[in-house]
Amino acid sequence: MATGQDRRLRARDIDRAVVATALDTAYADGQLTFDEHRSRVAAARTATTLGDLHALAADLQAAVPLPEAIRPAPGPSRRPVIVGLLVVVLVLGVAVVLAVRGSDAPSSPSVAAPSSSVGPGATAAGTVTPIVARPFVFDTPEGLADFRDRWITRFGDPEVTELVLYPSDDRASLTRLAESDRVRDVSVRGGFAESAATSPRETDELPFDLTALDVAALAGLMAGSASFVEVPDASVTHVIVRNEGVPEVLVYAADADGRGGYLQATLAGEVSRVSPHRP
């Protein structure tokens, strides 16, 4: 841990990068909201001292070690070194004069190439390897199951009132119960960003259990969406899972020109209605 004196030391680019990585990880595992993550990363990029950086991550369960001051090892005083260098210079000067007088051909002194070294704890390029949070994938059975499990781990409750997936953008939005008559929005993109505000729950906005959603069946519906809407180049634009009396899944698909349609199914993947494209 940095001491009080260390905290006043100037921060390096590598220090700022390490703290930004810690903030990214904290956002991905739910310690920070979207707004908190954005403001802290911006502050980390312009931090002046190690103390500034430590303040941005002091309340986090950091998975990355925070930067510490790197101090050079103590060495001898500079005066003996300077005196020694003067003696060496004088000896070399005398040697050069004698060599010139004793030879008609001038000689060129050889100069040793400076050696480069990399300090401890840094790479040759002075970079750090970022820690990247595992992204969400919403169009495969494995990706949907992973999302469901991470949601339950994060919030401890599989019940939500609405789920909207955007598979091509690897993002989602959900609405969960905050109180008996209020709901709270959650944005999902690499992590969970929960809104601080709540809103009244509509009478037809009923909860459903994420574990009741057949993820393999849903992935199959998305994979076959082009044939359902009868547009060969159509791809899924978004998926809505909701409960307005009966839990249902709506898969919308369209091509680049906006031609498309949707299909309606149960949480088990049984198709109950198809609305294909009609010119």
Q: Nearest Cα to 138, choosing from 162, 169, 175, 174?
A: 169
- Tell me the two tokens of residue 206: 């009923």
Model confidence band, residue 32 (pLDDT cutoffs 50, 70, 90): confident
State pLDDT tens for residues 167-206: 999 999 999 999 878 999 999 988 899 999 999 999 999 9
Helices (H) and strands (E) in the chain, counts: 8, 11
Least confident of 121-135, 140-154, 254-268: 121-135
State pLDDT tens for residues 68-127: 655 554 555 555 555 555 555 555 665 554 554 555 444 444 445 444 444 444 444 445
Rounded Cα distance between 143 and 99, Å, is 78
- Residue-level pLDDT at 86: 56
Looking at the DSSP bridge assignments, the partners of residue 243 are: 247
Q: Nearest Cα to 47, choosing from 70, 18, 4?
A: 18
Cβ proximity of 231 and 254 under 8 Å: yes
